[in-house]
Structure 1
Amino acid sequence: MNHDAALAFYQQFYADLTLYVVPEVGEEKAAPIAKAAAPQPAQAPTPAPATPVPPTPLAAAPVPPPATPLVAAPTPPVSRPAASVPPVTPLISRPPVTVPSSAPTPPPAPPVTRIAPPAAPAPPQRTAPPLTQTPFSTLGSNARGIVILVRLDAVKFQRLPRHVFLNNVLKAIGQIVEDTVLINVESHLPVALSTLRTKLEAKQIIGFGKNLLDVAVHKTQLYEPVILVGDAAYLPAAELDVIEEDQGRKKLLWNAMKRMFL
C-alpha cells in the first residue's frame, strides 16, 4: 500500500488525532513532503462561558371554572295504549226467596245454670281454755292468808319448803313457810284469782315469776305492790334463784315487802 494513501486514510478515520508513520528506507526524503502536504486538523474553537440565565418564575396554573351542575331533563310521560276491557255480561237476576210466615219459630235455648263449688269449711278456731281451768298444785296451809306463786317443775316444787332464801325472806317479815300456801302454776297461762279465792283465803300474794296471776299480768311492775279486787295485796317479783344471785334485786324485794307487810 502507498504510504501517502495510507496516511490520508488514517487521517480521515482519526480526524482528531495526529498519526506518526515510521518512514521506510528510501523514503526518508519524501517523508517531509508527505508531512507538509498532510492537512492539519482544525482545532475546535474554545466555547465562550455561558451567561447565567435567571430562572423564569412559574406562572400559576389557571383554575378551572366550577363545573355546572347537570340538570336532569324531565322524562316525557310514556303513553301506553289503553287495555281493552272485555264487556261484562250481566248476571241473570233471580227473584228473592220469600220465607212463609207460617214457619215455626225455634224454641229459645234453655238458660245455663252455673253451680258454684262448695265453700271450703272454715278452719276451727282455737280457743284458749278459761283461766279458771288453769291447773295448779299446792303445798302448806293457809293460816295467815299468805300465798306464794311460782312456776317450777314438780321436783323443785316439792323441795321449795326447804329453800333457804325463801325461808330467810319470810323470816325477815316475821313469817314461816308452814303458815303460807305454796302454789305451783302448771301451765304457761296464769291462774285466775277467782279460783284461788274459792279454795283458800288470800290476803297477801307474792308472785316469784312472770305471768302468774290473771288480774296482775298487764297492771303491775316488778317490786311494786298493788291492791287487787277484794282488798288483796299483790307483789310481783323475779324468780327466786335470780333474786338470790343479785344483791340489787334483793334490796328491791326487801323494800317492797316492808311496804306490803310492815
Structure 2
Amino acid sequence: MDTAANLAFFQTFYTGAALYVLPEAAAPEVAPAAEPIKAALEQQRASTPAPETPAPRPAVEPVTAAPVPPTPTTVPVQPAPSVAPPLPAPAAPAHVPAPLVAAPPLVTPASAPSAQALGTLPLAPLPAAAAAPAGRVQPTPTQSPVAHIPFSTLGSNPHGLVLLVRVSPEQFRKLPRNVFLNNLLKALRLVMEDVVLVNVEHEKYPVALCSLRRELAARQILAFGKNLLDVAVYTTQPYEPVLLYGDTAFLGAGEIDMLEYDAGRKKQLWQAVQRMFLS
C-alpha cells in the first residue's frame, strides 16, 4: 500500500479527531469503533518489511591534537612614576687632610739673635755718618778716651733701643712715666719695658760707645741732647739718622724738656724716627 495514500486516508478518516494526548492528561479509552482500524494498521505493519538497519561503524577514538602553547608576547613594562623624590647620588668621600705635624721651632744661635726676639725695630737703609773733621781725634767702637765716663740706666732689656739723656738723678727716675716718651714709644709699637734709659752723669763729656756696647749691647740709640755720644759728636746732625761704623743706628734730637712743648720739633723728630725705623 502506498504511503501517500495511507496518509490521505487517515487524514480524511480522522478529520476533527485529536490524534495526540498531552502528557498531563490521562489517556482516553479507545472507542470500540476504532478497534477494527487498529487491527488493520497492525496487519499492514506486519506485512511491510522492516528496513535494514546499517551495521554500526566501529568506534574510532578521536585524535586530539596536542595543545600548542601560546607564544608569549613580551610587553614592555613602563616604570611606575615615583612619588618620592630621587635619592641624591652618593657623594664622594671628602678628602681628610693628614694631621699637620708642628715643625720644630727654629733655634737661632745665641751669637746672632733675631731682631724680633730681642725686641728691636728693623732699620731702614740709612746713610753712613760723615767723617770727622781734620785735626780731631775720632774714638773707635773699641777704644775711647772717655770710656771712664760713668752712666746710670733704667730698664732690663740689654738688646733694646737705648734712649740717651743728660738730666738730674731726680728727673731721670721720673722718665719712665714721661708722657712724651711713652707716646713716642707707642707710635713705634713699643713700651717702656722694651727700651733702656741711659743717663750720662758727667755734665760736659759724652759717654763712650764702646762702654754702651759692652754693658748693653747697644745697636740703636736715640739721643735727647748735645754731646752725649763720643763717636757722634763731630759726625752727625740733629734729626738726621745715620749709621755709625756700619752697624749702629744713631739719631740725635733736642732735650726732652724742649720737645714736650714744641710742636714743630716734635714733628721734625717724628719724621726722623720714621726715616730711621719705618721707611
Could you say which structure has the larger radius of gyration? 1
Name which structure has the greater RCO, CA cutoff 8 Å, separation 6+: 2
TM-score (norm 1): 0.50
